Structure 1
Amino acid sequence: MQDITNFIIIDDSKEDCYLIKKRLQTLKASFTIQSFLSPHEAFDYVLNTVATTKSIIILDIYMPLMDGFEFVEAFENLPKNIQDNYLICALTSSINKQYTDRISAYQSVKFFLEKPLKTESLLDLMAS
């Protein structure tokens, strides 16, 4: 994924956003990182930003008000030209197979990561 220049972190935990951002910064690659505690704000950002390169969205599945499932459902209703600029990577601390199968079934969810996030997982994500 050499053309990735942007990461968008969506997680209702300030600590998790901070930790993911720090992990990404250890990769020493040049990309921007946006983080959102609110999936609604992140959705508005995706909707209203003109993307020029692919972005990876690291999306926590379990959040109040709008969870990862609802975010993905709304995302998949966006025009195809917007969807094509993003890859969604689901993130969770749950090992419940029912939930991981459910989120993985969405067409726009291309990857799955588990908390706590490891640098190796991010390297695998970027290499795929």
Structure 2
Amino acid sequence: MMRLTFIVIDDSELDRFILRRVIEHLSDGYEVITYRTAWEALVDIERIERETFTMIFLDLKMPVMDGFQFIEEFGKLPEHIKDRHRIVILSTTRNPTDIARLMDSDLVDSIVEKPITKEKFNSLLGALNTTAL
């Protein structure tokens, strides 16, 4: 089985807690790292070289640095870092402009409506396992 790390970036403590529980419940000892701010996550992603493949669950609407700003800054990182990460947007947005903007980004793998469920999580894992990493 592929070794994975999960990063959850969300200013909502409840949403971070729920996603951590879903991952821990369904996983085979995956590492789950949570961040309240996108800026903290970005700094750590750039600084810490992980040996695992990392799926980033990113909230869009956050203070200081929102999800769109995170994606823009993440895109400036070196290729060897970007290649080891996939971004999944977790959001309640139904704004067609936001969705189109996200779908146009090569850095965003998918958009999942909150709250995350076991079924949604398993679907994401299945899609990840079928892509060439």
TM-score range (shorter-chain normalised) is over 0.9
Matches within 5 A, 1:5-84: 5-84=4-83
Measured on the aligned residues, the alpha-carbon RMSD in Å equals: 1.1
Provide the TM-score with structure 2 as the length reference: 0.91
CA contact under 8 A between 1:4 and 1:56: conserved in structure 2? no
Aligned-partner SS, 1:34 = strand
Aligned-partner SS, 1:65 = coil
Aligned-partner SS, 2:26 = coil
TM-fit CA distance, 1:26: 1.7
Amino acid in the other structure paired with 1:102: R
- Aligned position for 2:105: 106
TM-fit CA distance, 1:62: 0.8
Unaligned 5+ residue runs, structure 2? 128-133
Tell me the matched-pair count: 127
Partners of 1:102 and 1:126 in 2: CA distance: 24
Identity %: 29
Unaligned 5+ residue runs, structure 1? none
Provide the TM-score with structure 1 as the length reference: 0.94
- Aligned position for 1:125: 124
Aligned-partner SS, 1:106 = coil
TM-fit CA distance, 1:106: 1.0
Amino acid in the other structure paired with 1:120: E
Amino acid in the other structure paired with 2:21: K
- Alpha-carbon displacement from aligned partner over 1:76-111 (angstroms, at most 9, x marks no partner): 011101101100001101122221121121111111
Partners of 1:89 and 1:46 in 2: CA distance: 15
Amino acid in the other structure paired with 1:88: I
Amino acid in the other structure paired with 1:75: F
